[in-house]
Amino acid sequence: MYDQIHNWLVGHGVNATLALVFEGLAAFVFAAVFSVVAHVIAKRIIARLIIHYLEKRKEKWCDAFLKTKFFNQLAYFAPALVIYYAVPFVLEGYDKAAVFFGNLIFIYMIVLGILVINSFLSIVLNIYQTFEVAKEIPAKGFIQIIQIFVIFIGGIYSLSILLDKNPVYLFSGLGAITAVLILVFKDSILGFVAGIQIAMNKMVAQGDWIEMPQYGADGDVIDISLTTVKVSNWDKTITTIPTYALISESFRNWRGMTESGGRRIKRSILIDMNSIKFCTDQMLARFSKIQYLSKYIAQKQEEISEYNKAHGIDDSSLVNGRHLTNVGTFRAYVDAYLRNHPMINQEMTFLVRQLELTAQGLPIEIYVFSRDKVWANYEAIQSDIFDHLLAIVPEFELKIFQNPSGSDFKDLIRR
């Protein structure tokens, strides 16, 4: 075709050199026009039709494609392909220039291919994260390592084109710089290995509440990537933890609590030792009027009376035989109160016990589980329980231990 155009121009009196220039300009114009047309068809027509179709579907995977503008990126291949195949015709007779520009366009398509592949992988990740399994097995680290691998392969291939070398030749030379690559990609390699272990062992997942004091982390996991894990702390700060640290160091994961039937309440009330004593008849008569203790007092009195009679105990002295104490009765009240509390899970561990004596008194520990695991609700339930118990302690003629304050010393001086 170019020969015919050339002959026609020369036949009409055009200089041979000018004819070659006109041929080149004509070829360039045709290539530019066809590339623009290809771009318009690919992006303005085909891509829009596909996008319009996906918008009608209104499915999660469709939204993932729409958000990343995947088809718009893919449309850039059309003008690139037109120019790539037009270069030999535009630069006919200039072989070196044709090869050079052809290689540049090919490298551009490689880069574009890398972007499109990575965009597609991001779409796959976004779709995967809509499934429940994504909360247990994070895949972001695996996707990122594939993206790095794609970039690496594309870079090697592009370099082989620029150097006019076989890609296999470049890959064979990588052995010499393996140590450097390992040093450069150390975090990525460690993160990849850690990601596999985390996923296989289900150690941590997005949405888990973890504690890692050595990194100042105490909150929900919001992102698990190839090299880092992001934690949104309760004070709304963000802590970044190296992914490999989760397998090389210890951390606490509260997932077990959130998946269980309750959240643990573990607190103690310190009883002043000087206020502990045996119950008198007057005290027992008063305690019998307490709703949660009436049956307990009656059963205990009958049990103790039968025991003392069976063993011939002289009950004129409280030292002999068995007798109820105010602290034991208080512990029984706490047990009954919690067993009747609607927000305490009765099917999980339930303990109201004495701990070892301390310099601050006798600890009465409550070890139960709240049905409501939401932090604010849990704290409210816990506070309500101890508000009541602390207020009820004087009814058993007991005292709460607390260190003396300035006002206590003032009262002593006044006396």
The string of DSSP codes covering 251-297 is: -EETHHHHHSS-EEEEEEEEEPGGG--BPPHHHHHHHTTSTTTHHHH
pLDDT at 178: 63
Residue 211 phi/psi, 5-degree rounding, is -120, 130
Every domain range in the chain assigned CATH 2.30.30.60: 165-256
Q: Quote the mean pLDDT of the chain.
A: 81
Of 265, 280, 268, which is closest to residue 400 (Cα–Cα)? 268
Residue spans in the chain of domains classed CATH 3.30.70.100: 263-411
Mean pLDDT across 122-129: 81
Do the Cβ atoms of 222 and 230 come closer than 8 Å? yes
Decide which of 3.40.50.720, 3.30.950.10, 3.40.50.10470, 2.30.30.60 is the CATH code for 165-256: 2.30.30.60
**Mean pLDDT value of segment 381-410:** 86
Average pLDDT (301-310) is 87
Q: Quick: pLDDT tens for 221-280.
A: 988 887 889 999 988 899 999 888 888 888 988 888 877 888 999 999 999 999 999 998
> Is this structure's pTM higher than 0.85?
no
Least confident of 110-114, 296-300, 402-406: 402-406
Q: Which of 5-9, 285-289, 336-340 has the lowest mean pLDDT?
A: 5-9
Provide the CATH topology of domain 263-411. Answer: Alpha-Beta Plaits (3.30.70)
pLDDT at 394 over 90: yes
Please report which confidence band the pLDDT of residue 349 belongs to, taking 50, 70 and 90 as the band edges. Answer: very high
* Distance, CA of 169 to CA of 45 (rounded, Å): 42
Amino acid identity of residue 65, one-letter, is F
Q: 46 or 15, which is more confident? A: 46
Nearest in space to 47 (alpha carbons), one of 95, 86, 79: 79
